[in-house]
Structure 1
Amino acid sequence: MHFGFSYVGLIFLIMLTVPNIFWTKNQPKDYERYVVNENKILLIFERAGEVLVTCLALIFSDFNIHPWSAWTLWLITAAVLMVLYEVYWIRYFRSEKTMKDFYSSLLGVPVAGATLPVSAFFLLGVYGKNILLIIAVAILGIGHIGIHLNHRKELLL
């Protein structure tokens, strides 16, 4: 692991953040009803994971593009997942913005809005051979994906 600025981490974080900024003005109908039921332990995992992933993605140069090797496939796969995440948001913003739209799957990936970026950052950690980011993403994933799955389950009841 090498300390240093990661422009790839910054690009991933921008791809993550920009749609979420637009989402604040385009939340799904009845979203407030579901937020109050969020599991507090999952929420702690989510918040801690968000802070850790954000910081770690920026402070290790291991995530930047290196000369081609087999490891480059991890970065390419992570980038594809982030592009799919953007596709998920485009589809959501063009929808009626219901809870069902927000917690939908994409290409068979359940709760795509949570699963795709978590998976992408996990693979970024693999690409950078950075165990700290991998652990941080696991913490984030437990909370973020867990919360999204619980909300989706509430929708089905």
Structure 2
Amino acid sequence: MLGHLGFSYVGLIYLLMLWIPNTIWSRNKPIDYNTTKENKLLVLLERVGQACCTCIILIFTDYNLAPFSAWSWWLIAFFFLMVLYEISWIRYFTHEHTEENFYRSFYGIPVPGASLPVMAFLLLGIYGKVIWLIASSIIIGIGHIGIHIQHLKAIKHVCE
């Protein structure tokens, strides 16, 4: 449950799938995007979770491909969530760049830009049996998903 030290190419692929659309987004933020009212505790949890997840996903070999077993289904589910994550970004980039479009649900998944990668981190932690990634996923989930839900509630409040 602690993990085997080494380099994870699966972790690197995951981070690329995460960072590339986020880098593109940083140049195409919603026209009405506002971070001034984000809860400071949620921001702290998000940053701590990001740092931990980024390091942990790269330094343990437990996420790399192994012979197929029942545990492989966790990796398949992880990959499926990341494909959905990429598709949700395509939806955002091909539509109007507004907060409403950015935070709207995707196939019933609320705040997909936050919930899909967090769930993927969690599934990868389960697949690799690395408690550190599982715990870090929970920390980033509280912060990242919490911030996105705050933004979504603010949008709904403005629309009412």
Q: Secondary structure at the match of 1:5?
A: coil
What is the RMSD of the two structures over their aligned residues, measured on CA atoms?
Answer: 0.5
After TM superposition, give the deviation of residue 29 of structure 1 in Å. 1.3
Correspondence for 2:6 = 4
- CA-to-partner distance for each residue in 1:23-61, whole Å, 9 max, x for gaps? 0110001103xx000000000000000000000000000
Instruction: Determine what percentage of the aligned residue pairs are the same residue.
Output: 55
Q: How far apart, CA to CA, are the structure 2 residues paired with 1:145 and 1:62?
A: 26
Correspondence for 1:42 = 42
1:154 corresponds to 2:154: yes
Q: How far apart, CA to CA, are the structure 1 residues paired with 2:13 and 2:104?
A: 25
After TM superposition, give the deviation of residue 22 of structure 1 in Å. 0.3
Correspondence for 2:124 = 124
Q: How far apart, CA to CA, are the structure 2 residues paired with 1:103 and 1:47?
A: 20
Q: How far apart, CA to CA, are the structure 2 residues paired with 1:7 and 1:107?
A: 29
**Where does structure 1 lack aligned partners over 5 or more consecutive residues?**
none
Correspondence for 2:73 = 73
Q: How far apart, CA to CA, are the structure 2 residues paired with 1:40 and 1:101?
A: 24
Correspondence for 1:29 = 31
Equivalent residue letter for 1:3? L
Equivalent residue letter for 1:42? L
Equivalent residue letter for 1:67? P
Q: How many residues align?
A: 155
After TM superposition, give the deviation of residue 117 of structure 1 in Å. 0.4
Q: How far apart, CA to CA, are the structure 2 residues paired with 1:122 and 1:105?
A: 20
Q: Secondary structure at the match of 1:56?
A: helix
- CA-to-partner distance for each residue in 1:93-112, whole Å, 9 max, x for gaps? 00101111110111100000
Correspondence for 1:18 = 20
Q: How far apart, CA to CA, are the structure 1 residues paired with 2:69 and 2:123?
A: 15
For normalisation by structure 2, the TM-score amounts to 0.96
**Where does structure 2 lack aligned partners over 5 or more consecutive residues?**
none
Equivalent residue letter for 2:88? Y
Q: How far apart, CA to CA, are the structure 2 residues paired with 1:111 and 1:149?
A: 7
Q: Secondary structure at the match of 1:18?
A: helix
For normalisation by structure 1, the TM-score amounts to 0.98
Q: How far apart, CA to CA, are the structure 2 residues paired with 1:103 and 1:23?
A: 13
